[in-house]
Amino acid sequence: MQFKLLINRTKLNVKFSEVDSLGIVWHGNYIRYLEEGREAFGEEFDLKYLDIYKGGFITPIVQIQLDYKLPLVYGDSMIIETTYVDCEAAKMIYNYKIFRLTDNALIISGSSTQVFLNLNRQLMLTLPPFFQIWKKKHGL
């Protein structure tokens, strides 16, 4: 069986508003960086949040996990690597790695899980049809 990976790599720069008084990125901003990674993944692989919503679904995060390895500081650039994890359940799982651009040091690793709710906020127990089509289009 062939295993296909869908991976997006996007570059961001640390902004002054994202650091504390020591010039270190505040830990909560890493969750926002993961959101940037998911947005860029959606752009590259045609899985944008507004398209999901127009299709009649929302995808709230139900779990997020981060392992902090090294800090980023004001002026650093990073690469956010977002990898879709294929599964049969009605959810979307992503793995993440953030690397400092100058030396490729691993800054954080983590994952997130999102579930599908219809617009009445009812949990979907099976994959929505549009997502089945999306998976097939990408060889999953």
Q: If you write DSSP's letter for every residue of 85-135 in order, what string do you get?
A: E--SSSEEEEEEEEEETTT--EEEEEEEEEE-EETT-PBPSS--HHHHHHH
With beta carbons less than 8 A apart as the criterion, state whether 76 and 102 touch: yes
The reply to whether 95 falls in a domain is yes
CB-based contacts of 2: which residues, under 8 Å, 6+ apart?
none
The reply to whether 123 falls in a domain is yes
Q: Tens of pLDDT along 6-55?
A: 999 999 999 999 999 999 999 999 999 999 999 999 999 999 999 999 98
The reply to whether 140 falls in a domain is no
Helix (H, G, I), strand (E, B) or coil at 79: strand
Under the banding of pLDDT at 50, 70 and 90, the label for residue 1 is very low
- As a whole number, the mean pLDDT across the chain is 95
The reply to whether 64 falls in a domain is yes
**Where in the sequence is the domain holding 17, given as residue range(s)?**
6-135
Please report, for the domain that includes residue 37, its CATH number.
3.10.129.10
Distance (Å, whole) CA 123 – CA 115: 7
Q: Tens of pLDDT along 58-69?
A: 999 999 999 999
The reply to whether 13 falls in a domain is yes
The reply to whether 34 falls in a domain is yes
At which residue do the structure tokens 């359940």 appear?
89
The reply to whether 55 falls in a domain is yes
pTM (2 d.p.): 0.93
Counted domains in the chain: 1
The reply to whether 1 falls in a domain is no
